[in-house]
Amino acid sequence: MTAAPDVSAAPGQVPVAHGLAAPPAPWRLLLRKPTFLIGALILLFWIACAIFGRAIAPHDPLAQDLLATNSPPSGAHPFGVDSIGRDVLSRVIVGARDILLIAPLATLLGTVLGTVLGLAMGYFGGIVDTLVGRVVEAVLALPVVIVAFLFIVAVGPSPLTLIVVVGFIFTPLIARTVRTAVLVEGQQDYLASARLLGERPGYIMFAEILPNVFPVIVVEFTVRLGYAIFAVATLSFLGFGVQQPTPDWGGDIAANYVLLGAGYWWETLFAALAIASLVMALNLVTDAIEQVISS
């Protein structure tokens, strides 16, 4: 086989060989990371609780067994019973529902708004950047909890109010991160290429730049989600979030923590552990995603 290359090719013909091998898909790399797997497992557990809570829970989380008030963990009530006779385990399981609905939606709202603002600031620059930037700085300078209080008091507490309030609080933070990422992309020649094709700003921002800053946005979303869980739990704890008697981790801690001194630790501890495990799981997942994206 004296395979001499085809010398009689067309003028200037260069046999074009295969492209380079495709890099492995990001999700494949994720699945190889133990931190991601552990985090995702805990997360999935809480998502299952949020969806099927009522079916999984051994007792009705609202039912009061007044004869068993403040009874410690036992076979019938593995996490014990609270001060008004409700099963703590059932309340922890069902309590995942509202927080896992409110926190992601609030984060999503903040991410969408923040992304749009960040893209506009980074792409247009100049006066748009200055004006929006000042507003963003002003919002960042306000004491967050007080503003949230005022808003919730004015509108009245409800899951929707929580979503909007937390979403708005996150918007400027996310906008700032996205703006920085857009400014880095702004150095690239593909934006000049797009302008030379007469593309409109909307197309350039959303079809050209957005896909390239998407990894940054994904990481920002997951980081913010952890904070959102804290924020929602805190507001509920302070009485401005999910209202009793609806099972909720923050609300349940608020209702029972005064009894810690009396030794009724189970009424507070398990709800607190639930919050901690959820935030930790999210951080594990975020870390893994960040590593995969930056590698």
Partner 1 sequence: MTDQGAAEESPHGVPAGPGGPSLQKAPRGRPAEPAEPAPRGFPGGRPPGPAEPTLDVANLDVTYRVRGQNRPAIRNVSFQIGNRESYGLVGESGSGKSTVALALTRYLPRNGLVTSGSVSIAGRDVLALSGSALRALRARTVSMVYQEPGRALNPSIRAGRQIAEVFEIAGLDRQTSTDRAEDMLRKVQIPDPGQVMNRYPHQLSGGMAQRVIIAMALAAEPSLLILDEPTTALDATVEAEVLDLVAGLRADMATSVLFISHNLAVIAKMCDRVGVLYAGELVEEGPASVVFDQPSHPYTVGLLRCIPRRGQRKDHGRLDAIPGFQPAPGQDITGCIYADRCALVIDECRTSPPPPFGIGPDHSARCFRHEEAEGLPRSTPADASLPAPPNADDPIVTLRGLSTTYKNAGSELKALSGIDLTIMRGETLGLVGESGSGKTTLARALLGLVVPDPGSVLEFDGSPLPADLRRRPRQLLRAVQIVFQNPDSALNRRHSVRRLISRPLSRLAGLSGSRLAERLADLVRSVRLEQRHLSLRPGQLSGGLKQRVAIARAFGGGPRLVVCDEPTSALDVSVQAAILNLLADLQAKEQVTYLFISHDLGVVRYLSDRIAVLYLGRLMEVGPAETVFAGPHHPYTEALLSAVPSLDGQRRERIRLAGEIPSAATPPSGCVFHTRCPRKLSTGVCETTEPPLAEVEPGHLMSCHIPVEELRRLQETPR
Binding site for partner 1 (CB under 8 A): 1-5, 7, 9, 11-17, 19-23, 187-190, 192-199, 208, 211-212, 214
Q: How far is the CB of 24 from partner 1 (least distance, A)?
A: 8
Taking the complex as a whole, the smallest distance from the CB of residue 26 to partner 1 amounts, in Å, to: 13
Q: Which two tokens stand for residue 162?
A: 């929580």
Q: How far is the CB of 29 from partner 1 (least distance, A)?
A: 10
Query: Which tokens go with 276?
Result: 């901690």
CB within 8 Å of 295: residues ≥ 6 apart: 29
Which among 238, 285, 249, 284 is positioned nearest to 103, based on CA atoms?
A: 249
Provide the minimum distance between the beta carbon of 8 and partner 1 in the complex, in angstroms, as a whole number.
Answer: 8
Rounded to the nearest 5°, which phi and psi values hold at 117? -60, -45
**For partner 1, the closer CB: 66 or 189:** 189
Query: Cβ of residue 186: shortest distance to partner 1, in angstroms?
Result: 11
Of the pair 134, 195, the CB lying nearest partner 1 is at 195
**Interacting residues of 86 by C-beta distance below 8 A, sequence separation 6+:** 59, 61, 62, 63, 64, 65
Closest to partner 1 by CB, 158 or 188: 188
Nearer to partner 1, 18 or 67 (CB): 18
Q: How many CB atoms are located within 10 Å of the residue 267 CB?
A: 26
Closest CA to 167 of 237, 235, 95: 235
Question: Measured from the CB atom, is 23 or 261 closer to partner 1?
Answer: 23
Least distance (Å) from partner 1 to the CB of residue 85?
A: 57
Phi, psi of 197 (to 5 degrees): -90, 5
Count of beta carbons in the 10 Å neighbourhood of residue 139: 16
Distance (Å, whole) CA 110 – CA 94? 26
Nearer to partner 1, 19 or 261 (CB): 19
